[in-house]
Each structure stands twice: as structure tokens, then as C-alpha cells.
Amino acid sequence: MKENTSKILWIDDEIELLKPHIILLKQRSYDVDTASNGEDAIELYRRNHYDLTFLDESMIGISGLETLPFLKDIDPSTPVVMVTKNEAESVMEEAIGKKIDDYLTKPVNPAQILAACKKFLDSKRIKAEKLTQDYLQGFAEISRKIMTETDTWDEWSEIYVQLVKWSMELDRNPDLGFNDTLADQFKTCNAEFSKFFEKHYHNWIHNEADPHAPTFSNKIVEKFVLPKMKNNKPTVFFVIDGMRVDQWMVIEEVLRPYFNFKKDYYSSILPTATPFARNAIFAGLFPDDIQKHYPQWWMDDINSEDHKANAYERELLQEQLNRKRVKLNNNLNYIKIHETEFGRRIENNILNYAKADLTAIVINAIDIMAHSRSDFAILKEIAPDESAYRSLTKSWFLHSSFFGMLKALADKDVNIVITTDHGTIRCMHGVKVLGDKATSTCLRYKFGRNVKADKRHAMQIKDPRNYRLPAKGITVNNVIAKEDYYFVYPTDYHHYLQRYKDSFQHGGISMEETIIPVITLESKA
């Protein structure tokens, strides 16, 4: 039997009658102290640390309920299980109000006592052992899938989502020691996924009937938003710039008391960057068709940092509705939130906005957070790794106008659809890129005259038109980084290699950037 080092205090004015239980606990290697009144228990608490306390509710002198606040004040970390003959609901509620951790009704039997000990003293070990077993099985299963040449989008989505779930489990159990193993598996999967994506992407975007092809950015409104609008309820469509699957999952944890979720996963188009992907969402078109049909709203001089390239999203969305012959009873609402004060104003008026047939809201906070982490050392200090980055996302969301809007809408009869335009990847490896001064400055994709990089780390697109991208000249092509690589020019190579290492970027090919969620929320009210 596993040696136990846990220390228990049992407080009861009839402690002699409980000797069989105490003997059982000692046989299970628990160290047990006893007290027959509240005053002695408080004194023992001052001298010792206990891992678990059993507390009689009705005792001579000060009662269990009167003793409890003193115990919690001395050591709030110790779980206290109330043991009582009194089954009155009022007593139970008072105990809960005073922060009791569990509640047993006399006469207690050995199974109840051992169950309480397992719950409070051994659950961490038991869960860790089970999690270790499950992780090793999951690791082997993912490795097997990769070795058997996973060849459909759905299979890769399942692999990525499973990896994300394991990441979040390890966030909750950091002492298991699997973080490096999981990071290596992420890297292996991204290498294979990048080959898979590069191999199939061209065919997918030219053959929408391919049953193995994913849904792309240009189909999101048609597939997920417009069908909801047919129920004649107001629809609110949120697009969160740069939100990854793991970031959505931490947001979902906060929203579970308010909503049920229907989740799907789709692929961002290439490049996985805002000027291309988000314009495609709102226009319902690939970038080459946006340039062809709406040249007044397409900027040829695109830089991923320049949000002017997305200045006409409202117009593009309205045109998509017109093409789909969707008639609105009132004007389309389009809102872009890029700073806190404006977000609060929208939050305060969200119920008025949500009366419209369709309200589209773009939220830039996560994208700003990703770029700011590269620019400000304090943010890299706060979020030095993936786990901390998820934690920072959760902290932002808890205090955000976005959360406030969703809470306000939770009990209203409205449709809510949430998605993103692309994800981001933590870039850890630089690769040299060659190009002239006119080459775009983006770190994960480059447009330029004869621009080129090592094919092992970058996808070369010699004719952008073949990939549904606007043509920019006969000699202008582009390269798109794969896995966690980022482009660095030979000039001052080592300086920029260090500057951008360990930064969150987008525009390239990775699971994190391309496999992204679209979620329909249903109120629990």
C-alpha cells in the first residue's frame, strides 16, 4: 500500500465513539490527531498544519459552525468536512456560507470517510496517474496517425484540437513533466501538416466539391451566418482578429455558465493574414475576385500591419448580402473595436445594436496583444510561453467589453456567431529570404520581385493568380513560411534573427494559423 504522509484532525465531543474510524485511518497510514472541543482544535491548528479536518457540527461549548471561521482564518487552505446529525437545510446553507468544503450526515460509515480522504488528500495523485496513462495513450495514437499518412483536413483538425486539449490539461497539471514531449510532438505535427497543406491547398481552392477540402474564409458568412438569419432573430456576428483555438478554449471556459456551444473548424486562406483572410470573410470571395469586382476597396500595397487594407469590410459584407439576395429590414451594423473606451461604449449599447437583423463586430484586442508582446518586454515577461499566453488571453477576456457584450446578450433571443480570421504561431526559427527593397515587410509571407527562400521552410508561389491572389506584376511572386519559421534578410541577419525570435506571428502555414474555430452560441437562459 502506498505510504501516506497526510495529517488529519478530527474534532468531535464524542471522539471516543469514533475510535473505529480513527483506527481505520491510521491503518491506511494517515496521521490523525483528535480534539473533543472547538477550543482545543483551534489551539492545535495554531501549532500544526493539517491536510484535512473532520468537524462535528454540534458540540458542547462552541459549536462546529462557530469553530469553523477560526479554523479558516488560521489556515484557509485546509479542507474542512462538516459531520452532523442535523439534516436541516438551514444548517447546511450556513455551513456552506462559512466556506465548508464538504458535508457528511451521522452516522458516518467507513466508506464515506475514506471517500472524503480520497477526494481531498489523494485526488491530485490519482488524477495525475490517470492523466499520465491517458496522455501516453494519446501520444501514441497521434504518432500512429502521422505515420499512416493522415490525408484529410478533418483528420488534421482532430489531431490539432487534441494537441490543444493536452496543452490545456498540462497547464492545469504542470508537474507531470510532459511539456517538452508535447512541444516536440507539436513540432513534428506541424512539419507534416505543412507538407500536407502545401500539397493540397491549390486543388482545394479550385475544387470546392472536393469532399476532403475544408471550409475556407470566403464561405464563413454563407455557411454559418446566413442560415441563422433565416429564423428571423437578430444576429450578432463577432470576428476576433488573430484568435487561436486554444485562446477560444480558455474563453469558452469562462462562458460555460451562460451558453452552450456548437463548434466547427475551418481553414484560413493563404496568406493567413488580416488583409487577405478577413476581407475574404466579409466579401465572401477570394482576394483575386475582390480585386477584380471591387478594385475600389482592394489595396494593392498590402502590409499586414496596415489596417487600412481592411477599411471597407462593411461595404464588402453589404455586397455579399446583396449577391446572396438577403434583404435586411434595417441597416447593417458594422463595428470595429480597436481601443478600450470605444469598446465600453459599444458594450453599454449592445442591446440596441442587437435589435438589427445583422450586427458585425470586429475585435482587434488579441491581435494587438500578439504584436505588443514583440514590442514590449514587460508583455514577454508576463507571457513567456504558450501557457502564459493563454492565461493572458483569459485575463483580458474576463475584463473585456467583449465579455460584457456576451453576458448582456446571454438571455436575449438573438443568434450569436463567433469566429476569427486566422491564428498565430510562436516563431522560433529564422530563415533567410532574398528580395529587393520593394518586397513586403511581413515576417511570415513576402511579396516581391523574384523573392525566394529555402523550399524546406517556405512555400514558393510563382504565380499568385494560381492561388486566388491578386497579380502584382509578371516578376512579382510570394513565399509563405511554414511551421514556426520567420523570414530574415541577410543584411543584419543575426540582429533581426534575435529581435523576432519567440514572437507570435501570422501569415504562414501552421496548424495554429490555419485551423481556426467558428462557434455558434446558444443561451442557457
Q: What is the DSSP string of 476-507?
A: EEEEEEBTTEEEE-STTHHHHHHHHTTEEE-B
Residue 1 confidence (pLDDT): 41
d(CA 277, CA 321): 18
* Alpha-helical runs (H) found in 173-244: 179-206, 220, 226-229
d(CA 511, CA 425): 8
d(CA 285, CA 293): 10
Residue 41 confidence (pLDDT): 95
Q: Provide the 8-state DSSP code for 422.
A: -
pLDDT band for position 306 (cuts 50, 70, 90): low
Mean pLDDT of the 339-346 span: 95
Which residues 6+ apart lie within 8 Å of 1 measured at CB? 28, 29
Of 218, 337, 327, the C-alpha closest to 267 is 218
Q: Provide the 8-state DSSP code for 172.
A: H
Is there a shared CATH topology between the 7-108 domain and the 215-424+513-523 domain? no
Contact between 29 and 121 (Cβ < 8 Å)? no
Residue 137 is placed in which grid cell? Answer: 495513450
483: left (phi over 0), alpha (psi -120 to 50) or beta: left
Cross-sheet strand order for the sheet of 31-35: 31-35, 7-11, 52-56, 80-84, 102-105
How many other C-beta atoms can be found within 10 angstroms of the C-beta atom of residue 183? 14
pLDDT higher than 70, residue 90: no
pLDDT band for position 435 (cuts 50, 70, 90): confident
* Tens of pLDDT, residues 118-165: 999 988 888 888 889 999 998 999 988 888 877 899 999 999 999 999
Residues in the chain: 525
* Tens of pLDDT, residues 192-229: 999 999 999 999 999 878 888 999 999 999 999 999 99
* Four-CA torsion 241, 247, 248, 249, nearest 10 degrees: 180
Mean pLDDT of the 390-405 span: 97
Residue 106 confidence (pLDDT): 84
149: left (phi over 0), alpha (psi -120 to 50) or beta: left
pLDDT higher than 80, residue 507: yes
pLDDT higher than 70, residue 319: yes
Mean pLDDT of the 1-24 span: 85
Mean pLDDT of the 435-457 span: 86
Which residues 6+ apart lie within 8 Å of 470 measured at CB? 287, 288, 290, 291, 298, 300, 464
* Residue scoring higher pLDDT (268 or 173): 268
d(CA 181, CA 170): 11
Contact between 446 and 479 (Cβ < 8 Å)? yes
Domain definitions of the chain by residue range:
7-108, 123-199, 215-424+513-523, 429-501
Least confident of 3-7, 440-444, 456-460, 499-503: 3-7
Mean pLDDT of the chain: 91
d(CA 137, CA 259): 32
DSSP per-residue string spanning 116-136: HHIIIIIHHHHHHHHHHHHHH
Helix (H) or strand (E) holding 349: none
Burial of residue 288 (CB within 10 Å: 0-12, 13-18, 19+) is middle
d(CA 308, CA 318): 18
Q: Domain 7-108: state its class.
A: alpha beta
* Alpha-helical runs (H) found in 48-122: 64-74, 89-97, 110-117
* Tens of pLDDT, residues 227-242: 999 998 999 999 999 9
Q: Which of 28-42, 75-89, 432-446 has the highest mean pLDDT?
A: 28-42
CATH code, residues 215-424+513-523: 3.40.720
179-206 and 153-172 helices, crossing angle to 10°: 150
* Alpha-helical runs (H) found in 209-301: 220, 226-229, 245-255, 274-283, 287-293
